[in-house]
Structure 1
Amino acid sequence: MAAKETIRTRAARVSEEMRETGRLVLRAPILVRGAECAMRFLLGSILAGAGIFGNYAPFGLGMVAASGSGLDGFCALLGACMGYLLFQGFVEGLRYAAAAILIFSVAFAFYDIGAYRKVWFMPAAAALMNGITGFIYLSDRGWTAEHFIFFGTEVLLAGASAYFYRIAFSPWTENREEDALTIRQTVSLLILAGTVLLTLSKITLGGDLSIGRLAAALAVMVCAYEGGIGAGATVGVSTGIGMDLAAGGAPFYSMAYALSGVMAGVFHRQGRLCTALAYVLSNAVAVLWTWGNGARLSVLYEVFAASVLFLLLPERSLRQVRALLVREPRRDTVDKAREYARKRLEGTARAFRELHDSLRSRFDHSGGNDGDTAIIFDRAANRVCKTCPQQIMCWQRSYVDTYNALNDALPAMLERGRGEGSDFPLHFSSRCQRFAQFLSAANEELSALFYRRQYQNRLRESRGEVCRQYAELSAALGAAASELSAELSPDPLRERRLRQHFTAMGLEAEPAVYYDESGRLRIEIEGVGLQSLRRGEAVKRLAQLMDKPLRLVEECPPRHDRVVLAEREPFMAMAGVAARKKDGETVSGDTGAWFKQEDGSLFVLLCDGMGSGPSAHRESSEAVRLLEQFLRAGVPPEEALRTLSGALALQGEETGGFTTIDLMRVDLFTGAAAVYKYGAAPTYVKKGNTVQRITGSTLPAGLSPVQGAAPDVSRFSLEPGDCVLMVSDGVAGGEGDVWLRERLRSFQGESPKELARILIEEGQRRVGSGDDRTAILLRLERRTE
């Protein structure tokens, strides 16, 4: 058997150590196991004395069955045998000792069989062995209805106690990640404590003062004070039934303890003194109600002594009880997850709304009106009449006649689509020396007018459609902001553990623990007096409790009644940046930014506007601002870039500007990285002693013939010590970048900022100062804390 081999192996190891060292060395695990075995022995002996209905004692058998076949079970067996012989006498005790030996034998014999690990096996064995031995012993007395009922109850309690005792010890015997007690474990511990009180109720001081009943009264008082009416009534009924079973009489203690528990729970918010007074007076009333059947004045002494102990208990002990009785939150954690998803959708909706407003303001302030019909003859006159000898006569002295003649001809020309000589009055056409040339020029301008009108109408419709789509998308996202993301899921076990921790600290806080769409742990805590949780030591303690590294999330605007923690990334990034504007300019046309998202994504942006100076700076800074807002709102990078590219292309139709976009995303949880480019300069990735050059072929944003064209995407993985260099096209210019790659290859990670500065200065010596220059160097590192 495995258990037998384990004992032999350990004994052989101890013997070998004694031969080698000449002394017995007790290590910490041995001491712990010794304490566990001593506890099993003590509980086995105490529970053997927990009798009900006079002479029935099934609970010691339940402890033996719950302890199993190893050393724990053997110690429980010894304790149970000793307890049964002491409490039950030799004859009755021998019956239970035999049953206990049979139970341990079954566990030892069937240890290697799969059925042994089933939750029902040992409880069934305990009930069966108790039934066999009890049937043999009790058959000599003869069976009555009362004996049959009591014996059947004993058999059931033997199996039930084995089942609940095993659950009560499961937090210490099983390797579980959760250190918070479940409801079943808490109930099982209460059952174990209640059955121990059955034995303690037989131990008296001064004749009638029972230690067990005193402890039961104290337990009811404490639970009523910390848990209210429900906890007080539940514990009162449970302990009262146990005391009545031990006494073998009428259900007096059930009534007295339950009534006292309810009344103490009613006044639990008024403080300890009011709770204790309510309990004592309720017990006194219960004793008076049973005066005719013999007043049990000893109950009053026990309750009074328990109330004194209750008032003297330290607050720390009460907090531990409060942690066990803590209620589940009224508001489900799903509400927190829904709020998190709603905020993300609202941020995306605001980003699209701002883009819509930016485009509409640009389109509303477009160039002058180029579709007025009056310009037909103005442009024709500039082409034909400017060098005519009759210019002064027609356009100055006889201006009114000329103006009226052209106005009379215009309706027919617009209706027909071209002009004819008959459309003009005879006095005008006969007087004009270059009438044929003027009519031809007017027809050309009329055709151009129609083309411009058609183009403007199509452009206006296209712009209006784009703005409408952005507005509709913003409205749709805003309407969906209240929906819960299906990928967000709560963690009730860690949440209960955290709630118990706050209760033990005496902190009134309501935690919510769940996982975001990336599967990362997120904790939101609301309550009063949460400033202590913002300290580094408190965050570390919570991280140990959650078994996850955590970091404090700074919200904007900050709230004093709310603390948000998120799972901390295993990687961090060190960044260095250097920049220099073109000589003679007041500002640089390059704009860069970097920021980290709550999901552990690090974004680095570098945009280079067309040309240099204020206009280029305006284009690049607006591109960075809009792109950053999309990314912060949770829009995927490629989708955000396509949307921005389409918007810049529409703006470029009016202003003629463009900008290059270089975007890098690094996942600080996994090291996965990607570079997105719209016409940007190469990006350099250093891994060990090799440098990889990443380029793209897509045109800058605003120049692509297809609005919303996809960017160039390059994906790679970074490890601690790897570096990524992003530069604008003014650093290397057209002279080649061999020198730059050599500089990066020889970089040993001393200072990213210093290397960026060296690259800018050397680039100026090699290329000159004819363009803006920016360099951003990022190095990935592993967190050490």
Structure 2
Amino acid sequence: MIYNGKLFNNNGENYYEKLSNLLDIKKLLIYALIALLLSRINILFYIAPIGIAFTAIIMFKNNKVLTVLVGIFSILGYFSIRSNFDSFDLYIIINMILIFLGIFFNIKKKHRLFILLLICLISYIYKYFYVRFSIYPTLFSITIEVGIIYVLYYVFDIFIKSISYFNTNYIFKKEDIICLVITTCLILCGINGFKIFNLDLSNILIVLFVFMMSYINGMSVGVICAVFSGSIMGFIYGNFTEYIAIYSVIATVSSFLSLSSRFTVSVISIVCVLILKLSNMSSMDIGSNLFLIEIFIGSVIFDVVPKSYLMKITMYFNEEYKKEFYTNKRLFNTLDMRIQKINEFNDIIKELSDMIVSNVNFKYKILDKKIYIEILAESVCGECSNVNKCWKVNFNKVRTEMLLSLDNFIQGDKSLTEYIDGLCIRKDKFKNELYKISNFYNIQKVYEERIYEAQDMLSYELKNLHNIINQSIKEVKKDIVIKVNYEKSLISKFNKFNIKYFDIICYEESERLKVKIILPYNIFIEYKNDLLDIINIALDREMIIQDEPSKYINSNDEIIVTYVEKYCYNVVSHCLQLSKKDKNGDSYICTNSINDDYLIILSDGIGSGIEAYNKSKFTVDLIYKFVRTSLSLSSCIKEIISIISLKFFRDEAISTIDFARIDLYTGKMNYLKFSSIITYIKRNNEVFILGNERDLNDNSLDDDIRILSSEFDLECGDILVHLTDGLIHFKDLSNKAWLYTFLKRCDVSSPDKLCEEILREFKILNSGSFQDDVSVIVSKVYKN
């Protein structure tokens, strides 16, 4: 049987059983190595209960193979330090007893007290009767050992559980991380005695570990790692305070400089250790020099560790980082599942578009001309007395001539061929039927052409829709990074000032920070200004409210407020209109959008009055809705124009489009012009033109449909003038460049004042009358 591409054999092991066995072997070897190193740690040369504690915790797992293997390697570890260890025999005996109990008895966690009492009894018998300790030193020694075993039992238990969660989305708690750090420190201390060029490998690895833990976890975990490692190494080598002091200095420097480069952290740590060593010149000997070299090597390794490995270690040991990583991962996995369904729907749209064009079943087919000849012969010749004479004598000739006559009528030539004209005795009836058939055929031909056009148009629109959905999917999958640290800072500040809230979300979108806060409406009204101050202090960023929040109030009187980083630019617009009739046919929108940009949309409805206004308003609203979807401008242009073309297909009165989108962070403006006239940009004494410069010529207006899309970099102080063609529809004046000249010499910089001046000049030049609706929008860019 095949399962997921792997061969499954019912009579033997399958692939997954073999893989499971290999993983079990790997697990056995890792635990055996840990047992070997932990049993090598002897404290003050006469107690070494750490290896016993690890064997005991493994025994409670009720895995006989693992218990035997760990017990044997623990014994090997004690053998490796036999020359430096006084009570070597005792720990061999205890290990063998634990192996025996693990093999022949089902030891459970509720038997912990019994195992501790058994270890106490064996230790007492050994030390009191064999080593001949007096009763008080014996009790003191046993109390310390049992206490260490009891504490390490819980440390090792959490450690074993935690390492099984390394490659999962389980978020480590603080105690999990501490137990991981303590156990790792003990394992590294167990390497003591292994030397390379007379340099202690355990010191180098512990220095590296302290650097990493302090750098990625901060002061709390770093100091625990330093103190614990320093204590154990101090007990092993008999210099308790020096090891703790040096490791603590490294941990402190790494914690405080966690935002700096690793090289900076290493250099400052080494300098601080040198100062500490030089303050006690009496301790500067060969051993101290070697210790300094070991610290230097550990710091160099810390500097050159690849960032990918450091990030992986951060994932295992940093609670906040792992929480943030898997929160983002879950977010995008969920998003991918939703997007997959949209992609499937999008594929259907594309297939439908291709099918409409290629599948012959969708095409309307008019009847073949031969069928019309059969109908003609039946209706005209069926009752004719000469039918046999005509058809039986020369069947093919008659049929061919009838087809030629039908072609003449279809093409507009209402005459029969000479052969039919000389042969047929019912010519009037024949012409009558040909006239009817040719008319019907031509109507069907028009229907066929219109259906083909409609199919092509529908296919084109479906392809546009397919492309827009693809673009929207790319936009949706933009990097959105949840900022957990910022959330913690905000929550801390809100709690400090006792401000009630329901939820706080901090995230980066397009490398810009955004904050969404859900809170009661009455709290927002009370603390509206204070909230912004608190956010700016907590995030160390200058933020502003993005939208008018009242529209987010829901039925539970909750409000969602969005804050974004303060914009670099601000745009102020003013519009004035003159109406030919009661209602101006032009429509416009000037507003900040939810996408951190400013929109200027102006549409000239063809004609004037309410009908023109409805058409231009439809165009403006449609563009505004498309732009709010966050799609790129290029993705919207074709679809907007297609929809407008379909909307006004019957009367062919398509509203113009004059659109500008200004990025309020960069000042870059994307603009689109569809059959609209030029836009002016006034910068100091210069005037720039956006659009087709032939609109400045003195010739008559050009009604050709033109599409123009481009970019322009705005600067602080720039003035934009958008207008409809009513401003250049003069009765007696052909100079359409008057506004360009006017802006060159005009010194007015306020948008509302400039609007008034433009219309005043227009009325003067046009003698107070105008032929079309007039709209002018003046916008100015300010530094925010």
TM-score (norm 1): 0.46
TM-score (norm 2): 0.46
Larger relative contact order (CA 8 Å, sep ≥ 6): 1
